[in-house]
Each structure stands twice: as structure tokens, then as C-alpha cells.
A and B are shown apart, each in its own frame.
Chain A
């Protein structure tokens, strides 16, 4: 049974702080990993993806991947109230695999 697990939260951080979102996955052979942000009533929007172990930075966002631990995280620096949303971790199990499996999401609230 392939699984993608996230802490459902809610996770609350003060404005300007670092928000840390975590995700674990069950299939060691997973190839690519994605973070999506979903505002209430809206569809998910891609924040970033990561394929290789280590860190990948894009603006205020940093994705971290540790394949040995089957763990991927998303750090949001200088959190803003507009970052308040549900963050979905998604995993593509195999290279060339056609679809993504999603975690249940972590709800983040940034307190002004």
C-alpha cells in the first residue's frame, strides 16, 4: 500500500517566522516529489518540485529531500498571512509514472 503521510495540523506560526512542513512516503523507489498549495475552495497550485537529495531553494521556499529516510519537507521563510493555506505533498512513484499520489495536506495558519 503506497502512502504519503502529512501531519494534518493545523500548524500556526507568527508572521515572519519559518514554517516547516513535513511529509513521509512509503515507497523507497519514489522518484519525484512535489509541494502544492491549496487555498480554501481553490485547486492546488504548484510551489516547487524536487528530485534529488538535498535542498532546493526558490525564493522564500526551500524543499528538502532525504530519500534514505523517505522524507521530504518544505520550509517557508518570512511567513506571511497570505501563506495561510493547506499544503499538499505529492509523490510520483516511478520515473515515467503518470500520476501523483497526494498526502492529506497540512493546514498552515500564519498569525499577523
Chain B
């Protein structure tokens, strides 16, 4: 299957700082990538849909000015958590879609202290 990578796999940052997470499709081009957030023992919640060359589409309740998404190329999307706070601590997972299937990156565990 298709491979999606994320970097970093885990990050600890101080409250008020910003963190950037990268998502790459390694062996295919993805015009659309997705960013999910998962809190402990909960399911994946879609945050936003990232389209190459255009603005991301955010789900209701997700602050677009706090979670900045850039889809600079067909293989790279980035999520920047700005002015992070402890409540932003979560497991952030990106995914990329082929024609029929959606593949997930390994996730980034963010801890804000």
C-alpha cells in the first residue's frame, strides 16, 4: 500500500510556542490530505482537509488561525499549531488519499507543558 510519513513522531513544547508537523506521501501524489486529532480513548476527529495549492477546509469548531495548514506540493502538507496550550496535547494524524483508499501517517504525539 501507499506510504505516508509524519515528522516529528513526538514533540514536547512549552505553552505559547508553535509547533510544525509535516506529512508526506512517499510513493504517490496526494492532491488531498487530511489532518485528524485523536484524544485518548476517543476516535479520530477530522480537523481539516488540505488541498494542494489552495486554502484548507476546516471542520466546524476548529480554529483556522490556530491550526495553520499549508499544502505546498503534491507530496507535502504541514500543520502548525500556533500558541500551543496544554489542551492542544493530543495525537495528530495526517492521511492522504489515493483514488480509492485513504492511508494514514504514523501520527505525531504532541505534549504541551
Contacts and interface: CB of A to CB of B under 8 A. Distances in A.
B43 interface: yes
Contact of A44 (B49, B100, B104, B109): B104
A43 B102 CA distance: 12
Contacts of B109: 41
A45 interface: yes
A53 B103 CA distance: 23
Nearest to A6: B43
Contact of B46 (A44, A88, A99, A103): A99
Classify chain A: how many residues form its interface, as a range. Answer: 20 to 34
B101 A43 contact: no
A99 B107 contact: no
A46 B101 contact: yes
A49 B101 contact: yes
A43 B93 contact: yes
Classify chain B: how many residues form its interface, as a range. Answer: 20 to 34
A58 to B, nearest CB: 13
A96 to B, nearest CB: 10
B107 A43 contact: yes
A43 B3 CA distance: 13
Interface of A: 32, 34, 36, 41-46, 49, 88, 90, 98-105
27 contacts: A34-B101, A34-B102, A41-B91, A41-B109, A42-B106, A43-B91, A43-B93, A43-B104, A43-B105, A43-B107, A44-B44, A44-B104, A46-B101, A46-B102, A49-B101, A90-B102, A98-B32, A98-B34, A98-B49, A98-B97, A99-B46, A99-B49, A99-B97, A100-B102, A101-B46, A102-B43, A102-B44
